[in-house]
Every structure is written in structure tokens, then in C-alpha cells.
């Protein structure tokens, strides 16, 4: 029994399985890659910076050198802040991968200064929600075809600080880096719930995960948001209570692999247990509206991800 309770462990093998993990050149995403790779999985590292991703891949391979029954690691370019990059990545994956057993939507930015993407959308909402929304929808026919399969969306307890104003999605009237982050994490949970509802009894399970407060560089913008030196002071006084990368990744891996979790879908998890999110994260009317608005924002048109013969724009 550790500081964060009983640790979940599993010896399940993933030989013959394929996983896509976004934003995994560092932090909990990188540990996810290591864990899946050790289980024999084919792991696709979907990262914005290919140099850093290749370095991370090399680090992982060196860490387990000499071990048997390892999987394979493939690095691919994916910038979730660019809808064009998401489409290019999805097109490449659908050409080269016959199956997708796991999609771990891990990438994200946190509390960054206000910025607008090349597509004209607020950076945190675009990266943390819209990019993953588009990616998931484009890959969904292949994921359904690969069932049983699982999709894990990295959310956060910070969703409690978020609100979605559909009349001001770019936060032009009032931008708060922390509130914008909370909004994107709220969107992750609402997307999880709506996707699970639409999937119905198909054997594709969807999860939203709060990893805890983890010792990573995700909060690198906090010094500019709060005050210079905030991160150093926070880690000095509260570092003992922060999770290691391994502990922070555990709930994602639990949702992807655990047998009991495999009987659940559309729920929110923390410390490898189902937790009740903030009430606004359970509003299915808002979840449906977010789906519809996101669909228009990423320009999916009449594509139907639930029909295996539905044609994506580039296939028409």
C-alpha cells in the first residue's frame, strides 16, 4: 500500500495488438509506450516533435534491452493543434495499420498563454479536444473493425474549473489560461460520454481518466500564469504528494487493459476506480451539442464513422 493506495498490476500480454498513443515523447505518455512495448504490443508514438519522439523511442528500447518478447515501436508525426496534420496522420495510419486495438488520447497542453491555431481555434480547446475528437472519429471505423477495442481519453480533475460557452468558443471576451484548460478537460469527459452512447453495444469501450497531479513538464506555463518560480516552489513544498510518472500512468493503463474495466464504458476514472465527475460533465444535452459543434468545427461533413463503408473526404 503506497501513498496513493493499492497499486493495480497486470501481467496481461499484448502480442499481436496495436496501440496508438498521442503525445508520448515524455511524461506519462512515454511510460505508456514503455508498458505496452514490454507486453509485446506494436506501439505507434504519435508526436509533434519527431526528434524528441525518436529520442524517447531510443530511451525506451535501451531501458529494456536484453528482455524477451518485446513489441515494436513506430514513430509518426502528429500535431493535434493542426487539423490538417490530424487528417494526414489518420490517412497514413489507415493505409498501414490493419487493426487498432487501443487509442490512448494522451497529448495535451496546459494553461498556456492565449494562442489561436492555424485553423482559427483557441489553442487548448483545439489541441486537447478538437484534435483528439477528429483523430478518434477518423480512426473509428478501423477501431470498430478491430473490436474488442478501447479508447482512453486523458482528462483531469481540472474539468471542475471549466465551462463551455458555445457563443464564445475562442474565449474572446475573457481568457483565463486555467479556465481554458479546465474547459478542454470538461470537453474530454463529455466527448467520452457521447461517444460511448453512440457506440452502443459495439465492443469498443471508452474511458475518461484523471491521472492525478504528476511530476511532468505539462505545467511548464504555470510560471507565466501565476508568478515566476511558481513551479519550483510548488514542487519543493508539495512534491512529496505528487505522483511519479509511473503512478500517474497507471489509471490509463488500467482502463486499457483491466478485465473489469472492459465491462464498463463512458465513465470517469481516478486511481484505477470509477469516480463521479462534476455535475456539468454528466449533462448529456451539453455532450450532444459539443459533439455537433465539434463535428462542424473539424468539417467532417456527412462522414459516418459507424458505417464501415462510409468514405472519408480524401477517399471520395
**Which are the catalytic amino acids?**
181
What is the sign of the dihedral through the CA atoms of 237, 243, 245 and 248? Answer: negative
What is the largest distance, in Å, between two alpha-carbon atoms of the chain? 57
Give residue for cell 494562442: 115
Beta-strand (E) ranges in the chain?
18-22, 42-47, 72-77, 102-105, 149-154, 204-210, 267-270, 273-275
Give the list of residues 6+ apart from residue 233 with CB closer than 8 angstroms, or none.
none
Hey, what's the torsion of the CAs at 101, 68, 96, 124, to 10 degrees?
A: 60
Q: CA 5 from chain center: how many Å?
A: 24
State the Cα angle at 96 between 92 and 97, rounded to 5°. 110
Listed residue (19, 278, 269, 12) closest to 151, CA to CA: 19
| Cα 102 from Cα 18, distance rounded (Å) | 6
Reduce the DSSP state of residue 216 to 3 states and report it. Answer: coil
| Cα 305 from Cα 143, distance rounded (Å) | 10
Cell digits of residue 56: 524517447
Give residue for cell 486523458: 154
Amino acid at each position: 500500500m503506497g501513498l496513493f493506495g493499492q497499486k493495480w498490476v497486470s501481467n496481461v500480454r499484448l502480442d499481436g495488438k496495436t496501440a496508438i498513443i498521442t503525445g508520448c515523447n515524455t511524461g506519462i505518455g512515454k511510460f505508456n509506450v514503455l508498458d505496452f512495448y514490454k507486453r509485446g504490443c506494436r506501439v505507434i508514438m504519435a508526436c509533434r516533435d519527431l526528434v524528441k519522439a525518436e529520442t524517447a523511442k531510443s530511451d525506451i528500447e535501451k531501458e529494456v534491452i536484453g528482455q524477451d518478447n518485446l513489441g515494436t515501436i513506430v514513430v509518426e508525426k502528429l500535431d493535434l493543434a493542426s487539423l490538417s496534420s490530424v487528417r494526414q496522420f489518420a490517412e497514413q495510419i489507415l493505409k498501414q495499420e490493419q487493426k487498432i486495438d487501443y487509442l490512448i488520447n494522451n497529448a495535451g497542453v496546459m494553461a498556456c498563454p492565449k494562442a489561436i491555431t492555424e485553423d482559427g481555434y483557441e489553442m487548448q480547446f483545439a489541441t486537447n479536444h478538437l484534435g483528439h475528437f477528429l483523430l478518434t472519429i477518423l480512426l473509428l471505423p478501423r477501431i470498430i473493425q478491430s473490436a474488442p477495442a478501447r479508447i482512453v481519453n486523458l482528462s483531469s480533475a481540472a474539468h471542475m474549473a471549466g465551462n463551455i460557452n458555445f457563443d464564445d468558443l475562442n474565449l474572446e471576451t475573457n481568457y483565463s489560461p486555467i479556465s481554458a484548460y479546465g474547459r478542454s478537460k470538461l470537453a474530454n469527459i463529455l466527448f467520452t460520454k457521447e461517444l460511448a452512447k453512440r457506440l452502443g453495444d459495439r465492443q469498443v469501450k471508452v474511458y475518461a481518466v484523471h491521472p492525478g497531479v504528476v511530476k511532468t513538464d505539462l505545467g511548464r506555463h504555470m510560471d507565466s500564469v501565476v508568478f515566476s518560480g511558481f513551479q519550483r516552489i510548488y514542487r519543493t513544498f508539495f512534491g512529496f504528494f505528487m505522483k511519479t510518472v509511473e503512478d500517474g500512468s497507471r489509471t490509463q493503463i488500467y482502463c486499457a487493459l483491466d478485465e473489469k474495466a472492459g465491462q464498463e464504458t463512458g465513465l470517469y476514472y481516478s486511481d484505477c476506480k470509477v469516480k463521479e465527475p462534476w455535475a456539468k460533465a454528466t449533462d448529456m444535452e451539453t455532450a450532444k451539442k459539443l459533439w455537433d459543434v465539434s463535428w462542424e468545427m473539424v468539417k467532417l461533413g456527412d462522414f459516418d464513422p459507424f458505417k464501415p463503408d462510409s468514405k472519408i473526404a480524401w477517399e471520395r
